[in-house]
Amino acid sequence: MKITLLNEQETELLGAELWRILPKKCLIFLRGDLGTGKTTLTRGVLRAAGHNTAVKSPTYTLVEEYQLSTGMFYHFDLYRVKDPEELEWMGMQDYLAEPCLCFIEWPDQGHGFLPSADLEISLSTEAEGRVADIINLSPNKLKLHWKNNDILL
């Protein structure tokens, strides 16, 4: 499913809508070049969940952890990972075993180590906006409400 995002605010709104429909344990892969809105989308999810302090990209820390009222939320950025085995050293399996929401930017850097995602979101630039291509890989059907339309993922 492709969704056109006109600006940063719409990218955050899409994140807020995702917060509304995602199960409490869900693995989401975020794909896209630098600057396409992966962290902005994540910020929208966190804001909708009630988190009101800064949301930063975990480019240098590899993971940012957020305690939400519904449980843990982990935001990973694997851009700097050179070998998927690094994920074992940082305890990735422990993170993924928890009942949590987990967003992973640059998941290809963990190829062969990461399990399959429940949802994949690819962000790309188009004109002055963005396009989000969302693929639901889980057996659960999700109903996204976007611009007065219900979209079944």
Q: Would you state the pLDDT for residue 136?
A: 95
User: E strands of 6-152, at which residues?
Assistant: 26-31, 63-68, 71-77, 101-105, 119-126, 129-136, 143-146, 149-152
Q: Would you state the pLDDT for residue 56?
A: 84
- Homologous superfamily of 2-140: P-loop containing nucleotide triphosphate hydrolases (3.40.50.300)
- Residue at 61: amino acid letter: T
**Which H or E run contains 21?**
helix 8-21
**Residue that the structure tokens 């957020």 belong to:** 66
Q: Is 138 exposed, middle or buried (0-12, 13-18, 19+ CB in 10 A)?
A: middle
Q: What is the mean pLDDT of residues 135-147?
A: 91
Report pLDDT digits (tens) over 3-60: 999 999 999 999 999 999 999 999 999 999 999 999 999 999 999 999 988 898 888 7
Alpha-carbon span 139 to 103, nearest angstrom = 19
Q: Would you state the pLDDT for residue 148?
A: 84
Q: Would you state the pLDDT for residue 152?
A: 86
Tell me if 118 sits within 8 A of 25, measured CB to CB.
no
Q: Would you state the pLDDT for residue 153?
A: 87
Q: Characterize the bridge pairing of strands 119-126 and 26-31.
A: parallel
Closest CA relative to residue 153, chosen from 78, 108, 144: 144
Q: Would you state the pLDDT for residue 67?
A: 95
To 5 degrees, how large is the angle CA 65–CA 39–CA 1?
A: 115
Please name the residues in contact with 87: beta carbons below 8 A apart, sequence gap of 6 or more.
78, 81, 110, 113, 114
Q: Would you state the pLDDT for residue 59?
A: 81
Report pLDDT digits (tens) over 95-123: 999 999 999 999 999 999 999 999 999 99
Largest CA distance in the chain: 45
**What residue spans define the domains of the chain?**
2-140
Confidence check: pLDDT of 127 > 90: no
Q: What is the mean pLDDT of residues 134-140?
A: 94
**Residue that the structure tokens 């929208």 belong to:** 44
Q: Would you state the pLDDT for residue 33?
A: 95
